[in-house]
Amino acid sequence: MGWGMCALGRAGMNVLRWLHFFRARPCAWFFATILLVFSNGVSAAEIEPGGDVLMQADELSYDQETQTVTATGNVEVAYGDRIMTADKMTYNEATGVVVATGNVVLLEPSGDVIFAERAELSDELREGVVDTLQVLLADRSRLAGNEAQRRNGNVTSVYKGVFSPCEVCAEEGKRTPLWQIKAFRVIHNQEEQRIIYEDAFFELFGIPIAYVPFFSHPDPTVERQSGFLAPSFGTSSTLGTFLQVPYYWVISDYIDATIAPKYFSKAGVLFEAEYRQAFESGAFEADVAAIWPNSEEILGTPADENFRGSLFANGQFKIDNQWSWGFETELTTDDTFLRRFDLAYDTDLTSTVYVKAENGRNLFTAESFYFQGLRASDNARQTPIIAPLINYYHEFDGDILGGTATLDVNALVLNRNEGADSRRLSMDLGWDTETITSTGEVYSLFANMRGDIYQTDNVVLDSGQISTPTTIARALPTLGAEWRWPLVRSAGTTRQVVEPIAQLIYAPNTGDRDDIPDEDSLSFEFDTSNLFDASRFAGLDRWEGGPRANVGIRASIYGEDGGAATLEFGQTFRLRENKTFDAASGLRNQESDYVGRISIVPSEYLSIDHRFRLDEDDFTFRRNEVDATGRWGPFSGTLGYAFFDQSLSSALGEREEFTGSAAYRLTDYWTVNAATRRDIQGRQTLSNSLSIGYADECMTVGLGFSQTFTRDRDIEPANTVIFSIVLKNLGGTQFSNALGSGSGS
């Protein structure tokens, strides 16, 4: 039995027309009728028996002996928050029974709409019997049956009922929904917010595939309710067949949890759980995973006990209008657990706790960090612990010497079980100003005076010796000036912008010593984003000294139809070589490598971004990255290429990689996706994936295949097939914030 909105006809349109009008103006029934009678002379009447029932129709009569009102033609009756329309309706004032026939429509306060051929209702339209019932629920799912009974205005029992959220067209031969539940009896309990089935058959494409004697799920008004969520299952060449059935548990209005054990035929049961709790001051969330493999399965893994697990948690809390605190926890029992069970692919985990204060442009933060390296080469005893790292930024009020003055304070305590220890206190007093001339030229001046005090121990010196406890002080002044001249020109349908930039910076060639360990400036990349920075280092342990000039150009062109293209290109010049930089960084020599970026967006359907670094002598690529995204009709895709000639670190070596993904929309409901990642330098594919998915208003189905080729201790190349199906309106799998929506069946 299938039907949809296309079957609602005149009655459906009528109820939609009256919905907004009578919720806003319930007294309009009386005044509208009086207006019609006395202004237009239309045959209409209204009666208001006992002041409770409001009725309107083309023709209306009242039998005093039987105390019965009979209405025919476009009948509309309101009783409290309920509104009913029909071709004909009788109301017995003595018994309070309303009998409606022909295109009966009853609008419920919940938003549900009931359609029937005949209805006999009493108790303010709250109780009675309905023939040939069809219900359009608030979420547009549908419930139908031959006969229904209503009790207390909130319990509807439907006999030989059918439920489905799927849209069904009236086209001949296509009236069977994708899936539906047929039952001997369907009970919709609005007070308990559940739909209950007795002796139910689940049908897919009109074919019965499962029978359950009893089944229930939340009704459309439920946002959060305990129950089972959509399962997923599949097979892996390394873990075997797997099945996961999550259970969503509403503990209170402010607390919920999802418990999702995952069975692997080759590895046992992996227990996963998510816990969320909201407070007046903030929210907290934790994800836990654990497995107890046997002794044989532990062999060959980094685990040293018959337990493997992980904990990921975070929380943010406000103390007052300025102060807040929070934490983030990332922990695992061993190096390969997360990747082995496809939980995460991080190779470094960071746990932190912080307190923060914001007051206008002023900011104070105090943080502590714990790191966990997951590579085979990582040594836990040499991994640092930072407690604390304090930063304070203050911007002084008003102009000072015609510019803006700032103060940066940084304090660090870093310790290791083995290796260098470091304590640092740094203060930086800065000043800058900007002037725009009448010709559009922009002049900027800036100055910084930084002072650092270090206390270090166990540092490996350039001579190879290990340092003893040492106190180091250094002063690091910087002066700079910058000139920019943005030139704008309109030509035909395009607007062009060309902006040459020149920057001069003076700083002494002092400040870097081998007894100051480099803890925060190891990750470094020279590109257009830091071409005009006073110091390219990410942290404070290394300092860019020496006189230098940064020169570059920015150019853009914009079209009327939204297309655009931009170019950035530049280089750094020095009076002498700066050995603070690694030889592969591109900044060590007197003339740096060339850095550039080209972005082309000819339309909203295509974008190309090219970032590069060219050798200063022969213009060969030292770094070359290209990313392209496009969409053409039902096809969309991305392409990525990256080449690094030891540009980040000499230890990483040369790398070259290709990535690609594509999606093709076969129909309005079917989509095919594919992706690949290949190490060109190593001549091996790193991963492949292929999936096909179906999604409509009532269900989603996905079938995916993936390959990984990574080897790391107990992690072997694997092929995985996963299948998932989600029947909407039978309990969602969605989660948003700590009090987000989610329901189970």
pLDDT tens per residue, range 274-299: 999 999 999 999 999 999 987 777 87
pLDDT at 117 over 50: yes
- 177 assigned to some structural domain: yes
The string of DSSP letters for 299-368 reads TTSS--SS-EEEEEEEEEEESSSSEEEEEEEEEESSSSHHHHTTS---SEEEEEEEEEEEETTEEEEEEE
Q: Give the residue with greater pLDDT, 209 vs 426.
A: 426
The residue segments making up the domain with residue 53 are 5-221
Closest CA to 593 of 610, 615, 563, 578: 615
In a domain, 745, yes or no: no
CB burial string 207-238: b at 16+ within 10 A, e below: eeeeeeeebbbbbbebebbbbebbebbbebeb
Taking residues 456-483, what's their average pLDDT? Answer: 93
pLDDT band at 46 (very low <50, low <70, confident <90, very high): very low
The span from the first CA to the last CA of the chain, in angstroms, equals 23
**What pLDDT digit, counting tens, does each position of 663-673 carry?**
999 999 999 99
pLDDT at 636: 97
What SS3 class is residue 90?
strand
128 pLDDT tier (thresholds 50, 70, 90): confident
pLDDT at residue number 53: 60
Which of 51-55, 159-163, 511-515 has the lowest average pLDDT? 51-55
pLDDT in tens, 294-318: 777 787 788 888 899 999 999 999 9
pLDDT band at 648 (very low <50, low <70, confident <90, very high): low
CA dihedral 117→120→124→126, nearest 10 degrees, is -80
Residue recorded with tokens 């031959």:
146
Q: Contact 708/718 with Cβ under 8 angstroms?
A: yes
Peptide bond into 388 cis (omega under 30): yes
- pLDDT score, position 130: 85
Whether residue 1 is predicted with pLDDT greater than 80 in this model: the reply is: no
Average pLDDT over residues 26-43: 34
Token output for 709: 């080729």
- More confident site: 646 or 374: 374
Q: Is residue 77 included in any domain, yes or no?
A: yes
pLDDT band at residue 66, thresholds of 50, 70 and 90?
confident
Q: Is the pLDDT confidence value at 741 over 50? A: no
Q: Which of 57-71, 493-507, 521-535, 718-732 has the highest mean pLDDT?
A: 493-507
What confidence category does residue 699 fall into, taking pLDDT thresholds of 50, 70 and 90?
confident
Contacts with 235 (C-beta within 8 Å, 6 or more apart), sequence order:
241, 242, 720, 721
The Cα 481–Cα 404 span in angstroms is 15
Lowest mean pLDDT across 191-200, 293-302, 433-442:
293-302
Residue reference for tokens 């000039």 = 549
The average confidence (pLDDT) of the chain is: 85
Task: Read off the pLDDT of each residue in 592-621 and give the average, rounded to a whole number.
Answer: 95
pLDDT at 220: 76
Residues 6+ apart with CB under 8 A from 359: 322
Question: What confidence score (pLDDT) does residue 34 get?
Answer: 32
| Residue 590 Ramachandran class (φ > 0 left, ψ -120 to 50 alpha, else beta) | alpha
In a domain, 149, yes or no: yes
Does residue 682 sit within a domain? no
Is 111 inside a domain boundary? yes
**Whose structure tokens read 């992690």?**
715
Return the amino acid letter for 728. Answer: K
Task: Give residue 350's pLDDT.
Answer: 96
Q: Number of folded domains in the chain?
A: 1
CATH code at position 214: 2.60.450.10
pLDDT at 649 over 60: no
Element (H, E) at 194: strand 194-204
Instruction: Of 357-361, 644-648, 725-729, give the lowest mean pLDDT range.
Output: 644-648
Residue 670 lies in a domain: no
pLDDT tens for residues 581-601?
888 888 999 999 999 999 999
pLDDT of residue 641: 97
Query: How confident is the model over 326-345, as pLDDT tens digits?
Result: 999 999 999 999 999 999 98
Percent residues over pLDDT 90 in the chain: 55
SS3 content of the chain, % helix, strand, coil (to 5): 5, 60, 35
pLDDT of residue 138: 78
The CA–CA distances, whole Å, from 645 to 231, 415, 622, 677 equal 46, 33, 5, 19
Q: Which residues, 6 or more positions from 138, have their beta carbon under 8 angstroms from its beta carbon?
A: 110, 111, 112, 220, 221
* Confidence class for position 354, pLDDT limits 50, 70, 90: very high
Predicted model pTM: 0.80
Q: Say if 13 falls within a structural domain.
A: yes
What pLDDT, on the 0 to 100 scale, is given for residue 500? Answer: 97
Amino acid in the structure at residue 340: R
Give pLDDT, residue 647.
56
